[in-house]
Structure 1
Amino acid sequence: MSDKSAENKEQQVTPEQQDQVLFMMLVQQHEQIAMMGLGEMENPTTGKKEKDIKAVKYAVDTLTMLEKYTSGNLTDEMTAYLSDTLKKLRLKYVDASKQEG
């Protein structure tokens, strides 16, 4: 076996690994939506930090739904990642809601 084919074999990703990466990216996308809505990250379109509590709620609600519908179907690592992300975002959402109200 040549060095190239050995290297390619090592770099191959299993379908399960690919699904895990895609799942983590989906969670990260919604986390970024929430962080932008909290004004903790710049909006890439405007280059400004803007608050949008509705966007935060959307992201949290979407991740909550994802947690509900994937319950029992994720690895322990993916379950913990989603759960930890949701806990963090829920706390930030509650704090932001209090400041707005």
Structure 2
Amino acid sequence: MKNNFLVIVDFFAQIGWQSLGKIVNPATGKIEKNLQMTKEIIEILETLKEKTKGNLTEDENRILMATITDLKLNYVDEISKEENEGNKTKT
């Protein structure tokens, strides 16, 4: 049986990975980076975490937390890369 909550988490995770430029956008067939979108997706998942607190199974909570953590770490990494590239062009 399909777990609809995890389908929702996966849906947002896929958008997050696409906006990080880590996977191809299926609508365009291209790698596209939009870090503002990534930030919004992380915020949506954080809101989902708060609104479902105490109502998730152990697996649902673990997967949600891992998804948020992975997206945040990759987001910070991409922001750092952009900042480093910006500093290199100024030198």
CA deviations over 1:17-73 (Å, ceiling 9, x no partner):
x5xx11101000110011001111111111000101011111111000000111111
- Compare the two structures and name the one with the higher strand fraction: 1
Q: CA deviation at 1:77?
A: 1.0
Distance 1:59 1:48 in 2: 19
Counterpart for residue 32 of structure 1:
14
Larger RCO: Structure 1 or Structure 2 (Cα < 8 Å, ≥ 6 residues apart)?
Answer: 2
The aligned counterpart of 2:60 is 78
| 1:4-19 paired onto structure 2 within 5 Å | none
Aligned match of 2:73 in 73, 80, 91?
Answer: 91
Q: What's the Cα RMSD here?
A: 1.2
Alpha-carbon distance between aligned partners in 1 of 2:26 and 2:4, rounded to the nearest angstrom: 22
Whole-angstrom CA distance in 1 between matches of 2:5 and 2:26: 22
What is the aligned counterpart of 2:31 among 27, 49, 52?
A: 49
Larger radius of gyration: 1
Letter of the 1:34 partner, please give it.
Answer: G
Q: Normalising to structure 1: TM-score of the pair?
A: 0.77
